[in-house]
């Protein structure tokens, strides 16, 4: 991608790093997000997702490297209303009603959306007359979303937007997000819900220990860990005999069942049935995002031990 520093580039992170005292929260990230993309940021607790987001929003200053948003420094992009942010923590301005707060924020930007429409779209109309201090966690989260949206930004940056929401509210949230994304907005969100990333993001960026360890469409991330698994009921057969079958990379016995991790599940299945015709209840499964996530993060940890850094 090279020198995409012009306004046509969406978010560009280059060599980005941030430490808090001895803690290296972000350790060198290079990432370009194209306008119109919806990107999910995944990673275990402490991976550096929020720190990265805070730097994109201009709330934390990098120790090294830089961030540009639409060719501008974050603070400029935020001040001009081009970025809407939703943070993981922080309380709402007190002593205002929800509507007053959304109106106040709208008045700070040059091209805000219609407040009434935003309240409707974010499911906050029902309690718009209520003070912000008395809201539930999920209601607060919806108000945060309304505040991010009302400036009519080109880029939405959302840190765990659905963390406090119940199942129905999560579904509502994503359906309003989808209509936002369809309007050509760029969206970056951090989440721990792998199924959300799978369902709503064009692209997944997986972080661990302050680095990006995988980046691509969810199908590609799943394919990275390749393998399928074969599960079958097969009592009394030795694990090492199963491991010797063609296409099998690892064997896990769970009571009478065996789980074969496979490099080539077709070859493995043929060999399994030919060698052990008594095998039954056979299931073949592709790796899900969760398996991919666990394996990729696990591999990164192993690498870390080898490198000793
Ligand atoms: N203000 C801060 N002061 C000191 N250390 C911090 C601060 N913010 C983050 N850290 C540390 O930086 C690392 C990365 O934290 P960060 O909040 O970015 O992770 P995260 O990926 O968002 O995790 P989570 O999934 O738990 O939200 C952690 O080790 C954390 O303890
Ligand atoms: Mg976080």
Q: What confidence category does residue 6 fall into, taking pLDDT thresholds of 50, 70 and 90?
A: low
Closest atom of ligand 1 relative to the 49 alpha carbon:
21
Pocket of ligand 1 (CB under 6 A): 20, 23, 25, 43, 45-51, 88
Same domain, 97 and 216: yes
Identify whether residues 64 and 136 lie together within a single domain: yes
Nearest protein Cα to ligand 1, atom 24: 45
Closest atom of ligand 1 to 21 CA is 4
Domain span at residue 92? 11-222
Spatial separation of the C-alpha atoms in residues 162 and 141, rounded to whole Å: 7
SS3 for 205?
A: strand
pTM for the structure as a whole: 0.81
207 Cβ contact partners less than 8 Å away, ≥ 6 residues apart: 29, 41, 42, 43, 47, 48, 49, 52, 213
> Which ligand has an atom closest to residue 41 CA?
1
Atom of ligand 1 nearest to the CA of 192: 25
Domain check: are 87 and 108 in the same one?
yes
Helix (H) or strand (E) holding 198: helix 194-200
Residue 293 falls inside a structural domain: no
Residues 111 and 257 reside in one and the same domain: no
Per-residue pLDDT tens for 120-162?
988 899 999 999 988 888 889 899 999 999 989 999 999 999 9
Mean pLDDT: which of 37-46, 129-138, 193-202 is highest?
37-46
- Do 55 and 200 fall within a single domain? yes
Predicted pLDDT at 124: 92
285 contacts 228 by C-beta, under 8 angstroms: yes
Q: Report the percent of the chain where pLDDT is more than 70.
A: 96
Residues 248 and 211 in one domain: no
Distance 308 CA to ligand 1 centre (A): 21
Note whether 217 and 254 are same-domain residues.
Answer: no
Using CA atoms, how far apart are residues 139 and 145, in angstroms rounded to an integer? 10
pLDDT tens digit string along 281-308?
Answer: 999 988 777 778 888 888 888 877 777 5
Of the spans 10-24, 78-92, 252-266, which averages the highest pLDDT? 10-24
CA–centroid distance, 99 to ligand 2, in Å, is 28
Query: How many structural domains are present in the chain?
Result: 2
* Listed residues 185, 204, 222: the one ending a domain: 222
Question: Is there a single domain that holds both residue 18 and residue 62?
Answer: yes
Centre of ligand 2 from the C-alpha of residue 206, in Å: 13
Residues 105 and 169 in one domain: yes
Distance in Å, CA 286 to ligand 1 centroid: 33
Q: Tokens in use for 275?
A: 């060698």
pLDDT at 187: 94
């Amino acid at each position: 991608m090279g020198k995409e520093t012009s306004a046509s580039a969406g978010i560009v992170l280059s060599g980005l790093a941030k430490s808090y005292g001895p803690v290296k929260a972000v350790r060198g990230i290079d990432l370009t997000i194209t306008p119109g993309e919806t990107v999910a940021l995944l990673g275990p607790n402490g991976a550096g997702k929020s720190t990265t987001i805070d730097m994109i929003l201009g709330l934390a200053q990098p120790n090294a490297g830089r961030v540009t948003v639409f060719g501008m420094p974050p603070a400029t992009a935020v001040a001009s209303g081009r970025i809407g942010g939703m943070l993981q923590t922080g309380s709402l301005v007190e002593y205002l009603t929800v509507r007053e707060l959304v109106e106040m924020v709208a008045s700070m930007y040059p091209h805000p959306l219609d407040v009434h429409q935003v309240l409707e779209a974010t499911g906050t109309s029902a309690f718009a007359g209520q003070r912000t201090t008395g809201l539930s966690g999920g209601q607060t989260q919806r108000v945060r979303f309304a505040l991010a949206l009302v400036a009519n930004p080109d880029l939405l940056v959302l840190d765990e937007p659905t963390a406090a929401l119940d199942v129905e509210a999560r579904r509502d949230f994503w359906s309003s997000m989808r209509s936002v994304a369809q309007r050509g907005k760029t969206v970056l969100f951090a989440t721990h819900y792998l199924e959300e990333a799978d369902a709503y993001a064009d692209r997944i960026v997986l972080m661990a220990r302050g680095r990006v360890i995988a980046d691509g469409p969810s199908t590609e991330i799943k394919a990275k860990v390749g393998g399928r698994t074969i599960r079958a009921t097969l009592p009394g057969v030795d694990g090492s005999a199963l491991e010797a079958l063609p296409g099998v990379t690892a064997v896990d016995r769970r009571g009478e069942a065996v789980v074969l991790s496979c490099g080539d599940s077709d070859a493995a299945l043929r060999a399994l049935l030919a060698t052990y015709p008594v095998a039954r209840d056979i299931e073949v499964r592709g790796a899900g995002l969760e398996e991919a996530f666990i394996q990729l993060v696990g591999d990164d940890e192993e690498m870390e031990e080898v490198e000793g850094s």
